[in-house]
Amino acid sequence: MSEGPFDQHRYQVRFEWGAAGLARLAAADVVVVVDVLRFSTTVAMAVARGESVPLDDAAHAVSLNGAAVAAAAEASGSVVLLGCLRNAGAVAGAVLAEQQRRGERTSIAVIAAGELAGRDPGSPLRFAVEDQLGAGAIIDALGAFGIDHTSPEAAAACESFRGLRGAVRHLLTASGSGQELVTLGRRDEVLAAAALDAATVVPVLSQGAFVAS
């Protein structure tokens, strides 16, 4: 496939939105799917309890959109990790370990899942600030490990997190996605999702299910 202006192939760390964004990018060795409210966070917490979470089950119970990105990434042959605010540092560590295992420069696509604007699976993608912040936290943590050859898109996501790091808890509860959950009586879930680096487990997609990396 020929290289294009939007595939970010020049950079080790890339950033895009949703399954369509993943398809625009050059193939990456590792894809990190970020769906903070609530796909990545919910699955990460389940895996931390020792559970194996089938992708199909997670899609129906938590997020069709986040699961679609993960399925597309798995189909491309990439290592697929789930990232969120709770495990941002751990995800970066897992990427570093994968690069060391390969013994060569490893390309990483960080994909913010976003939210569907309606109930229909074909609804347009809605920007979700929580996913921007979660992706930025992971890109920032990668940079701390020396994996910092980032695309402009990835750099912008990283700087948005750095600049707003102290307000993450407020931003998640005040965001559209957060308010939707708050009105359903699930404020505790939003607060749990806002806990930066509270977890060390990184879910990896293996044979159709998420397990601990």
Residues 25-65 have pLDDT tens digits of 999 999 999 999 989 999 999 999 999 999 988 776 666 78
Which pLDDT score, from 0 to 100, does residue 3 have?
Answer: 79
| Predicted confidence (pLDDT) per residue in 112-121, tens digit | 999 877 666 6
| pTM of this structure | 0.95
> Could you count the other beta carbons within 10 Å of the beta carbon of residue 30?
22
Instruction: Confirm if 81 and 204 have CB atoms less than 8 A apart.
Output: yes
Which pLDDT score, from 0 to 100, does residue 61 have?
Answer: 63
Q: What is the CATH number of domain 13-201?
A: 3.90.1560.10
Residue 118 CA to residue 136 CA, distance in Å, equals 25
Instruction: Please state whether the peptide bond connecting residue 162 to the residue before it is cis, i.e. omega within 30 degrees of 0.
Output: no
47-14-39 Cα angle (round to 5): 25
In the predicted structure, residue 83 carries a pLDDT above the cut 70: yes
Which pLDDT score, from 0 to 100, does residue 58 have?
Answer: 78
Percent of the residues in the chain that have a pLDDT greater than 70, as a whole number = 94
Instruction: Confirm if 201 and 44 have CB atoms less than 8 A apart.
Output: yes
Dihedral sign (CA 75, 16, 81, 101): positive
Instruction: Confirm if 76 and 31 have CB atoms less than 8 A apart.
Output: yes
**Ranges 4-13, 17-26, 52-61: which has the least confidence:** 52-61
**b (16+ CB within 10 A) / e for 44-55:** bbbbbeeeebeb
